[in-house]
Amino acid sequence: MTSPPVVAAPPEAGRLGNYAGGVTRLVAFAADIGASWGLFTLGLAGLTFAINLVTGKQVNLASRQIVALVAIIIWEFVYFAYQWSLAGKTMGMALLGIRVVATDGDPITPRQAVIRTLALPLSFLLLGLGFIGILLNKDRHALHDRLAKTVVVYSWDARAARLRWLAKQEPTTPA
């Protein structure tokens, strides 16, 4: 048995493992906000219905603003931190084919997922300047990426997608 030769991956192998760009990340984030709000609304409606059913009183949780605000903050934290620590990607990121990894490419730890989630609002609070690194930095680091020592990469193989697309075309008859 010979030792396995090391062959460099061809450049046309796709974007797998490359740093993800700002547009993809923005769309993924928008999808996540939509998904998390949708799930929160559904959960809140379900909880309100259950309370009304059990107590027999008409309670409207959405009208209690402080409670709703606290609940949404906790929910958003759980939504992002749990999914990042579990699979390195949220639903929106899975949709767009990107994931979060440690700066060296290893899967992120639950600690990094929590730090990233907590630091994410900071990028917004600085008038969005926390995100400028995605456009300017070599490794497309946002502020929350830098604090959590993470990067976002494509987990989607463009070449495989092209082959799938080609496979669905009618076979051409050879000349």
Partner 1 sequence: MSPVPGAGRMEQLVEAIAERVVNLVLDAIDVNALVSQVDVDGLVDRVDVEKIIDRVDVQKIIDRVDVDQIVARVDVQAIIQRVDIDSLVEQTELGTIIAHSTSGIASGVLDVVRAQGVGLDDFVARWVNRVLRRSSADWPAGPVKLLAPVPVEVPSMDVAG
Interaction between residue 51 and partner 1 (CB under 8 A): no
Binding pattern to partner 1, positions 93-132, x when CB under 8 A?
--xxx---xxxxxx--------------------------
Interaction between residue 34 and partner 1 (CB under 8 A): no
CA atoms within 13 A on the CB side of 171: 2
Consecutive H or E run containing 94: helix 91-96
Interaction between residue 84 and partner 1 (CB under 8 A): no
Residue at 42: amino acid letter = L
33, 47, 59, 163: which one binds partner 1 (CB under 8 A)? 163
Contact between 25 and 141 under an 8 Å Cβ cutoff? The reply is no
CA dihedral over 165, 30, 37, 16, signed as positive or negative: positive
Q: Which of the stretches 1-9, 52-60, 83-91, 112-120 binds partner 1 when contact is defined by CB under 8 A?
A: 1-9
Rank residues 59 and 135 by Cβ distance to partner 1 and give the closer one. 135
Residue at 54: amino acid letter = V
DSSP state of 89: -
Contact between 32 and 75 under an 8 Å Cβ cutoff? The reply is no
Interaction between residue 66 and partner 1 (CB under 8 A): no
Q: Which of the stretches 39-47, 69-77, 83-91, 161-169 binds partner 1 when contact is defined by CB under 8 A?
A: 161-169
